[in-house]
Amino acid sequence: MTIDLVTRREWGAKEPRGSYGRLTSTRGVKVHYTGGQVSPDIVGDHARCVAMVKSIQTHHMSGNGWMDIGYSMVACPHRKVFEGRGPGRLPAANGAGLNSGHYAVLGLVGSSGLIEPTDDILHAILDAVEYLRDRGGAGSEIKGHRDGYSTDCPGGPLYAWVRKGAPRPGGPATPEGQPTAFPGRILTYPPLMKGDDVRIWQRQMRKRGWNLDVDGLYGERSRQVCRDFQKEKRLPVTGAVDRATWEAAWREPVV
């Protein structure tokens, strides 16, 4: 997993006023936008992104009365991800009663000015999602703030992307018959190899005749099946379900 992380210290975050509520897992992540005017100039000036994140924290703490910035992470148009509250900590931006269900990731687009997310903003949002899955137990869902809460957030263009399954810009084409989107997220290569993506792969391998439990756990038996399958298909033997291995499970004939 690759992420260009801007830590709280690096962006000059204020200290929180109190202790965070703790999270060990969530159903996933909710995507947000600022809801206000975002100058298109931030695309060419990262210092403006830093200033915007600082102003958001100030507004949340002084205007909303929150203990800290409400978002878990913030994605900017330079494919950098600002650490907000971070993984393992309860966000505040999703709405009362909804914060324990999902982390909150803000994309620096607004309702005027910069309203269309750039490719690097979308990449950064997904980098943040993967980080929260890896470090914070975030589940498979990627939803918009408006899902379950009365708001226009995350705006029309960003929500349309969420509804499409939040694909990575320039991602690989979908092989015929291959599932690409699990509920709320897009498959990346190599897969994260936990939960739904493992079950789908395990189920397909069982259909191909491999003795493998469909348990969603990518343990030693799954790795061995993967290695044996890679040998059978004359693929690099890594024990990891990379793109070629995944595609072969659906596209190569069963023998």
Task: Domain ranges for the chain, please list them.
Answer: 5-163, 189-251
174 pLDDT above the threshold of 60: no
Best CATH choice for the domain 5-163 from the list 3.40.50.150, 3.40.80.10, 3.20.20.70, 1.10.150.130? 3.40.80.10
Q: What is the pLDDT of residue 197?
A: 74
Q: What is the pLDDT of residue 23?
A: 94
Q: How far apart are CA 250 and CA 203, in angstroms?
A: 11
The mean pLDDT value for 34-46 works out to: 93
Q: How far apart are CA 200 and CA 191, in angstroms?
A: 11
- The superfamily in CATH containing domain 189-251 is PGBD-like superfamily/PGBD (1.10.101.10)
- What's the pTM? 0.69
| Under 8 Å between Cβ of 156 and 116 | no
Domains 5-163 and 189-251 share a fold: no
Q: Any idea what the Cα angle at residue 115 is, between residues 113 and 119, rounded to 5°? A: 125
**Structure-block tokens of residue 13:** 């975050």
Residues 6+ apart with CB under 8 A from 191: 197, 198, 201, 241, 246
Q: What is the pLDDT of residue 215?
A: 79
136 pLDDT above the threshold of 50: yes
Q: How far apart are CA 120 and CA 143, in angstroms?
A: 19
**Structure-block tokens of residue 65:** 């009365």
Q: What is the pLDDT of residue 187?
A: 53
The mean pLDDT value for 138-163 works out to: 94
Residues 6+ apart with CB under 8 A from 12: 50, 54
Residue given tokens 């000015």 in the structure block: 113
Q: What is the pLDDT of residue 101?
A: 95
Q: What is the mean pLDDT of the chain?
A: 87
Q: How far apart are CA 248 and CA 166, in angstroms?
A: 24
